[in-house]
């Protein structure tokens, strides 16, 4: 094709493009710039602000309740106080442990697992947060991990144990995992317990809490993954799509309004690559 013909073709294409642009700009039909322009969110995507049943506006006394007027006024005054503090929940998965143990007492941390817990303890110390309490699962590997971390955080005022945080099968995952199929009764038993743990530890601060709190929960991968999905109001069945390394740090903040913020998920950047494991 000669140069003159090429120029004429380009001029023609430019003219056609200009006509098309003029048509769309002046036509009655709207042209959307992207899929977000006319996007309608799923009803399941809407945030439930009263997920923990502690939103102040839902705590007002209902009409018709049989209490005295003075008691009703006191109740309403109390409920009108809004939370001001943030609750920080720092979730630590236990270190690598002996998978060949026949019972929990034999499933102790490996040498590498203890080293992983050391690194995490040092990292938590470096963060220099005003930790409020540490709560450990009663399973051996979580107890060991928490004890090693405590060596680096000796000033934590409260250290407790909690059976609710023990490992388990929270809910049938979607999609299923072929090589992991617990009996249905396990979901029935473990699921209610793990959900109870979520309700115990995940909620906005009370109105009388003056300072931000920092709670460390030393527990297990399945429990942490379920907590993350529940806190962010993701489908709980998605928990098995998340992966967590041993002795990793996951950090969720719950604001006074009840909004949950995932600050960190499964962080092990404080460890050398040779120490990072997940199974």
Of the listed ranges 122-126, 128-132, 163-167, 182-186, the least confidently predicted one is 182-186
Of the listed ranges 23-27, 112-116, 200-204, 258-262, the least confidently predicted one is 23-27
First and final CA of the chain: distance in angstroms? 64
Please compute the mean of the pLDDT values over residues 64-71 and round it to a whole number: 62
Work out the pLDDT band at 22, boundaries 50, 70, 90: very low
Domain boundaries, the chain: 87-275
Spell out the residues 6+ positions from residue 78 whose beta carbon is closer than 8 angstroms to its own.
207
CB 224 within 8 A of CB 243: no
The CATH H-level superfamily of 87-275 is Phosphoglycerate mutase-like (3.40.50.1240)
pLDDT digits (tens, 9 = 90+) for 129-176: 999 999 999 999 999 999 999 999 999 999 999 999 999 999 999 998
CA distances from 207 to 55, 61, 71, 215 (A): 11, 17, 19, 18
Query: Does pLDDT of 242 surpass 50?
Result: yes
CB 149 within 8 A of CB 216: yes
Percent of the chain with pLDDT over 70: 78
Supply 193's token pair. Answer: 């317990």
Average pLDDT in the chain: 86
Does pTM surpass 0.85? no
Spell out the residues 6+ positions from residue 190 whose beta carbon is closer than 8 angstroms to its own.
168, 169, 170
Spell out the residues 6+ positions from residue 205 whose beta carbon is closer than 8 angstroms to its own.
83, 84, 85, 86, 87, 213, 254, 256
**pLDDT of 235:** 94
């Amino acid at each position: 094709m000669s140069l003159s013909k090429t120029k004429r073709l380009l001029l023609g294409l430019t003219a056609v493009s200009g006509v098309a642009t003029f048509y769309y700009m002046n036509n009655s039909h709207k042209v959307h710039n992207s899929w977000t322009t006319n996007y309608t969110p799923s009803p399941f995507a809407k945030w439930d602000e009263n997920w923990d049943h502690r939103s102040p506006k839902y705590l007002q006394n209902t009409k018709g309740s049989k209490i005295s007027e003075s008691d009703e006024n006191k109740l309403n005054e109390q409920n009108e106080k809004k939370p001001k503090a943030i609750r920080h929940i720092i979730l630590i998965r236990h270190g690598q442990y002996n998978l060949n143990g026949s019972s929990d007492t034999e499933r102790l941390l490996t040498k590498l697992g203890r080293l992983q817990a050391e690194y995490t303890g040092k990292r938590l110390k470096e963060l220099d947060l005003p930790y409020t309490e540490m709560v450990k699962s009663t399973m051996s590997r979580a107890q060991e991990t928490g004890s090693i971390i405590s060596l680096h955080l000796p000033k934590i005022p409260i250290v407790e144990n909690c059976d609710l945080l023990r490992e388990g099968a929270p809910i049938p995952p979607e999609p299923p995992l072929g090589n992991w199929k617990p009996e249905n009764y396990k979901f029935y038993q473990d699921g209610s317990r793990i959900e109870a743990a979520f309700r115990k530890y995940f909620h906005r601060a009370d109105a009388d809490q003056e300072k931000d709190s920092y709670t460390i929960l030393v527990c297990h991968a399945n429990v942490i993954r379920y907590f993350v999905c529940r806190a962010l109001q993701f489908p709980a069945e998605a928990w098995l799509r998340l992966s967590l390394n041993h002795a990793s740090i996951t950090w969720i903040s719950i604001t006074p309004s009840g909004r949950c913020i995932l600050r960190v998920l499964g962080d092990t950047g404080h460890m050398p690559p040779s120490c990072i494991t997940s199974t």
